[in-house]
Amino acid sequence: MRLKCAVFCLLSIVPLSRITAQSDYTIQQIHFLPPTFYVGDKVEARIRLAAAEGFVPAEPTELPAPAAIQIRDVRIIPISQEYDIRITFSSYETGKGELPPIALGDITLKGVEITTESMLEEDTVKIEESFGPALLPGTKLLLALAIGALLIVPVFTVLLVIWIRRLAKHFISERKEKRPFKVLTLVLNELANPPSRVKNREFYIELTDAFREYLSARLEVNLRTSTASELRGSLAMQFTGVAPVEKILAELTRFDAVKFGNLGVSSRGRKSDIRKVRDAAEAIEMWRQEAKEHVDS
């Protein structure tokens, strides 16, 4: 251990025989703190200098600024007939080089050699080729999900729009399908509870008109102006065997007799006729539903 320290101290001192004397000064001794330094390290060079007669060194007013070396500070400490020049610097280039010339009053210090060591051992470490930026974990999965979403969302949106349109069309169709029976039911309810005493003629005109309007919508034939016999013929062809419909067919002539012949009808008779029309309409609705289910199956 002592031997290593002695060798280390000897290497940190540059022999005089290796220093080139200048006309205005002579370098007596140079050592560095730390003796071994690397790129970016803060180093202090201590240079013992003897100036020629008539030359007096002085601290510089401006520090040099070369590309590969940063001169941080320069101090001069007089020691008897000599001067201790202390230069603080950092080197940013490996290998051998020199400190830049530094103007010290009457003299210019130059030719001070330095060696900046490398952290890599020569011929032992191979510099690997650079690679592109690494992807974060899960990046490929996120990209796949994003691409999948871009493909699926438009398709899903189109299917959703088609489904909504079909649903709306079905809803409108259902409402339209039920409307004739609903309108007839409202009229029958009003006739069952008239706001005031209504004459038989007015009552049966409204009753038969509502029934004809309903039949016109269901059979898709204009029966509003048809005679009782024409109406019976149309219903007989469509609803043969439907008891409530056959029952109301026999009453159509009587309804006309009330309207045009002033045939008398009691309040109980009116309610019975309302029930007959309602039963016939309900039977027609049931017949249509069974026919639709038979077609769908």
* pLDDT score for 14: 42
Instruction: Determine if the peptide bond prior to 34 is cis (ω within 30°).
Output: yes
What percentage of the chain has pLDDT greater than the value 90? Answer: 14
Kindly give the interhelix angle for 267-296 and 139-192, rounded to the nearest 10 degrees: 150
* Burial of 68: CB neighbours in 10 Å, binned 0-12, 13-18, 19+: middle
pLDDT in tens, 55-103: 888 888 889 988 889 999 999 999 888 889 999 999 998 889 899 999 8
Instruction: Tell me the C-alpha distance between 133 and 238, whole Å.
Output: 81
**How many C-beta atoms surround the C-beta of residue 69 within 10 A?**
19
* Closest C-alpha to 208, from 270, 157, 133: 270
Separation between Cα atoms, residue 4 and residue 184, nearest integer Å: 119
Rounded Cα–Cα distance for residues 186 and 179 (Å): 11
Taken in order 57, 62, 65, 71, is the CA torsion positive or negative? Answer: positive
Q: Token match 């001067």: residue?
A: 83
**Gap between the Cα atoms of 4 and 176, Å rounded:** 108
**For tokens 């490996």, what's the residue?**
94
Residue 287 reports pLDDT greater than 60:
yes
In sequence order, the 6+-apart residues with CB closer than 8 A to the CB of 141 are none
What is the number of residues in the chain?
Answer: 297
Measured CA to CA, the distance from residue 270 to residue 191 in angstroms comes to: 9
Confidence label for 5 from pLDDT (cuts 50, 70 and 90): very low
| pLDDT, tens digit (0-9, with 9 covering 90-100), for 134-178 | 667 878 888 888 888 888 888 888 888 898 888 888 777 777 778
pLDDT band at 6 (very low <50, low <70, confident <90, very high): very low
For residue 222, the 8-state DSSP code is: -
Angle at 171 between CA 168 and CA 176, to 5 degrees: 125
- Give alpha helix (H) positions in 193-266: 200-219, 228-238, 243-249, 252-261
pTM beyond 0.75: no
Place of tokens 């952290």: 119
3-state secondary structure of 13: coil
Lowest mean per-residue pLDDT among 29-43, 150-164, 215-229, 279-293: 215-229
SS in 3 state form for 24-92? CEEEEEEEEECCCCECCCCEEEEEEEEECCCCCCCCCCCCCCCCCEEEEEEEEEEECCEEEEEEEEEEC
